[in-house]
Each structure stands twice: as structure tokens, then as C-alpha cells.
Amino acid sequence: MRFIVYNVRDDEIPFIEKWGKDHQVDVTSTTTTLNTETISEAQGFDGISCLQTIPYSRELFDSFHQLGIKYLALRNVGIDNIDMQAAKDNGVLITNVPAYSPESIAEVAVMMALYLSRKVGYMRQQLQDKHEFHFSSEFMGRLISEQTVGVIGTGRIGRHAIQLFRGLGAKVIAYDKYPLKSTNGEFEYVDHLEDIFGQSDIISLHMPATQDNFHLFNHEVFEAMKDNAILINTARGSIVNTGDLIFALESGEIAAAGVDTLENESADLQDSRSTKKITDSDLIKLSMMPNVILTPHSAFHTTESVKNMVTISLNNLKVMFTGGRPKDIVG
């Protein structure tokens, strides 16, 4: 039994090595991104563990078949970047890690809401750009308890975010295509997304990316939102039209945005050793705006998350290779 782990970050290595030792399995790590050129590194291995947001294409799964590799264990939740039909056609079973640490992502969503509600970015800009540091009445913020938070997606992460926002005293409303049977009185479901857009001071996104919600947040929606509204996206970049978001922030259609997931994320973003500078003009513009907090798809990144992502992924590979069917099978 031999497994190879792609896109390995330094923080994952101790957990990978411990798992291999504990299970007496040969596990090899590589920092390279999994694609049609690097798949050759997997020759002779029985399964692949991977973490990336760039595409897993049909050509890649054709290469899986040619190498006789039947198992791919993701170390993340999302599968929107995977050609699932191609995987099926080539006999590749895929698992994900649906709940590595919902609290980690929920905490970042709330942190961003606090940062933006208290206008910390404007204070930092005053210090960094003007080399001034003094009290200013321009930076008057708002309490979370004064605001209505709209949560879209009430899965594990969304529910943790609701608990945290509720703990700060916010009124929480939510929308989900598949609502929970009971909310325990913690929040109120609305019937239509338009209710979230129109009523929320803060909107926090916690749903998977699908064809139906591609660019869900666009110019029309930003116009429908309150002009003091804050958008938090720790879900998927494709849900928000980046160009329309920038226009909305510059024109005052909305007040602020917290962005952890980005459209068209590059392989460099997932490479902890990359030293390349940002060249994307939209990201540069967002990074310079005081009403934006921008992070590199790192909301998940805690010790607990990394441990769970590695351990569950490798456990799934072992179960599949030994003829079992993990509960985390997707597709």
C-alpha cells in the first residue's frame, strides 16, 4: 500500500509522517500541484491525496486510468472544480473531508464582520498611508448587536457562524435551499434570497459553489442590498462577480467586504512556498481598499483543521484501497 500526497504545505508534513508511521503505510509527499504534467510522479502508487482549487480535468482522470490509480482523497470540502463524470468514466473513486473544522471558517467570517463593522481598515490606512495616528470621528463603527446578519447556507459552517453572531447579540436570518427541520429558535429562515439582500446589514456566505449560484452576487444584487451592508465570502469565489463587487464598493452600493475565496484562484495561492507577487489587477485593487479585508483562502487554516484534513483524507484512501466504502464518498 503506497500513497502520494500532492500540494503539501510545511504545516501538513508532521501529520502526514505521523499517519504513515501509525498505520505502517508508505506515504510520499510532494509540493507540486496535481495536473496532467505532474501526475507522472504518482506512478507506482495506489492512491492520491490532494488539496487544490484549480481544475481536476478529464485529461487528468484519463491519466489516472493509464497509471492504474483508482482512488483520489481530497483534503477539502469543495468538489466544484472536479470533472465528476470524467472521474466516473475512468473508474476513480473520490472522497472529500466534509467537516474538518467548521468552527475555523466560521470564526474568520465573524472576525471579518467585526473588523469591517469597526472600520479598522480605515484606521490602518490612516497610519500606513498618511503616517498619522490619532482619534477620528470618521471611524465610528457599529455593534454587531445592532445589526441583522443574513446567513446563506446553514450547513455545519453556517450553523457555527450563526452561533457566533448570535453570541454577539445579532439578529440572524438565513436562507437555504434545503432548510433544517428545526432552528431551535436561534434564527429565522426567510423564503427568498431577496429577503436576505434587502434586510441584512451583514451577509455571510456558507454554501457550496454550483452552476445555479455562479455570480449570484452581481451588480443587480448589490443594488438591492443596503448601502451600509457588509458582504463576507468564506465560501467560494465564483459566487461573487469580482468586477461588480469592486464597483459596488467604490460607488457606495455596499459599505464593505470580507473576501477569503477568490475567483480563478491560481496554483500559486495554494503553494506555501511561492514567492510570486500578486499581478491580478482586481486583487491589487481590493487589497488597497480600506473597506475590504482580503485573505488568501486561509479561513480554514488552524491546527485542528490541518490535522483533520490530512488524517481523514489518508484514512479514506486506506479504506478504499482495502475494499471498503468511506462515508465521505462523493459523486
Looking at domain 102-294, what is its CATH homologous superfamily?
A: NAD(P)-binding Rossmann-like Domain (3.40.50.720)
Max Cα-Cα span within the chain: 65
Q: How confident is the model at residue 53 (pLDDT cuts 50, 70, 90)?
A: confident
Q: Which of 156, 160, 206, 236 is catalytic?
A: 236
C-alpha cell at 29: 509527499
Q: How confident is the model at residue 271 (pLDDT cuts 50, 70, 90)?
A: low
Predicted pLDDT of residue 267: 61
Q: Is the pTM of this model over 0.75?
A: yes
Known catalytic residue: 75? Answer: no
Known catalytic residue: 297? Answer: yes
Domain with CATH 3.40.50.720 in the chain: 2-100+302-330, 102-294
119 contact partners, CB below 8 Å, separation of at least 6: 139, 140, 141, 290, 291
Predicted pLDDT of residue 61: 98
Burial 142-158, CB ≥16 within 10 A → b, else e: bebeebbbbbbbbbbbb
Residue-by-residue DSSP string for 26-67: EEEE--SPPSTTTGGGGTT-SEEEE--SS-B-HHHHHHHHHH
Instruction: Encode pLDDT of 172-187 as tens digits.
Output: 999 999 999 999 999 9
* pLDDT for residue 17 is more than 70: yes
Instruction: Encode pLDDT of 64-99 as tens digits.
Output: 999 999 999 999 988 989 999 999 999 999 999 988
Q: Which fold has domain 2-100+302-330?
A: Rossmann fold (3.40.50)
Percent of the chain at pLDDT above 70? 97
C-alpha cell at 42: 504518482
Among 83, 105, 86, 103, residue whose Cα is nearest residue 236: 105
* pLDDT for residue 268 is more than 80: no
Percent of the chain at pLDDT above 90? 85
Q: Which of 156, 159, 160, 297 is catalytic?
A: 297
Known catalytic residue: 265? Answer: yes
